[in-house]
Amino acid sequence: MAFTARIETALRASLDEALAGPVPPLLAAALEYAVFPGGARVRPSLLLAVAAACGDDAPALADAAACAVELLHCASLAHDDLPCFDDADLRRGLPSVHRQFGVPTALLAGDALIVLAFETIAKAGAERPLRLPALLGAVARGVGAPAGIVAGQAWEQEPTPSLQAYHSAKTGALFMASTMAGAIAAGADPGPWRALGDRLGAAYQVADDLLDAMASEEESGKSAGRDVALSRPSAARELGLQGAADRLDALVAEAAASVPACPGAKALREIVRMQAARLVPKQLARNAA
């Protein structure tokens, strides 16, 4: 099955578990809305690509891990869009979760998705319990304190965050968790896969800064210009548009070069380059052409 189909199937199965039983109707609707239809499913695709490169000998566990990182990503979007953070009206071209269901339900949906992520991995791990501690640990480090997504969001509350610590936690950490979890799910050593996630995560954050600085809301499907409005650290503001675009190119090249020698290395490098091409804001691509 193609990665996309595996991811959507795993997400559907996981959501169905969460919605089985006497779940409050508004919460159920918000959970569904926060996860479907999704965005590009970048992180779970990356996770499955690494698992495939490592032999993917336990595909159900890789699917569960992929599902978990996407659920955690969806949770972070639902929380980050809240009025106390980005106060964003739009996400993926639709009203953000709290605009659709209210702040309390959006907050609870995020909480429930975090729990569901770990529950999903635990359930699939019954077949390969020896891999569970490392797998859960890698995923948890991508989202929690001291250096996961939550810490990244928390750096926005600090008067003088460093761009590096902020970006690394806010975006890099879950990319790194994705590549490392892909390896662990397939029984491989995660260490050699750390750099790929780190570089791709950094590239993705630079691209996001560029998009926020340049793109229309129509193109990005979310509220634009928030970095400046909220005085957030931004590569586009720190390096200028061209400087940030150069940095993006360099990071993608580093990511491709970091793929360790393995049977699936060539295919994975191709995936990295294809994903990277999607990152460049259209307006910048036009300007460069």
**Alpha-carbon span 192 to 284, nearest angstrom:** 33
203-224 core/surface letters (b: 16 or more CB in 10 A; e: else)? bbbbbbbbbbbbbeeeebebbb
93 Cβ partners below 8 Å, 6+ apart?
221, 222
Task: Find all residues with CB under 8 Å of 279, minimum gap 6, and list them.
Answer: 203, 204, 207, 248, 252
Which positions from 177 to 196 touch a second copy by CB under 8 A, shown as an x/- string? --------------------
- Kindly determine how many residues on this chain lie close enough to bind a second copy according to the rule CB under 8 A: 59
Q: Which is nearer to a second copy, 126 or 265 (CB)?
A: 126
Q: How far is the CB of 243 from a second copy (least distance, A)?
A: 25
Query: Does residue number 277 form part of the binding site for a second copy (CB under 8 A)?
Result: no
| Residues, the chain | 289
Residue 137 interacts with a second copy (CB under 8 A): yes or no: yes
Does 148 bind a second copy (CB under 8 A)? Our answer is yes
- Exactly one of 112, 239, 256, 259 binds a second copy (CB under 8 A); that residue is 112
29 touches a second copy (CB under 8 A): no
Minimal distance, residue 42 CB to a second copy, in Å: 21
C-alpha span between 79 and 234 (Å, rounded): 20
Q: Which of 44, 125, 182, 201 binds a second copy (CB under 8 A)?
A: 125
Read off φ and ψ for residue 147, nearest 5 degrees. Answer: -140, 20
Spatial CB neighbours of 213, under 8 Å, sequence gap ≥ 6: 225, 227, 228, 234, 236, 237, 241
| Residue from 42, 52, 88, 136 in contact with a second copy (CB under 8 A) | 136
Binding stretches for a second copy (CB under 8 A)? 18-28, 31, 75, 79, 82, 84-85, 102-105, 107-108, 110-112, 114-116, 118-119, 122-123, 125-126, 129-130, 132-133, 136-137, 140-141, 143-148, 150-151, 153-158, 161, 165
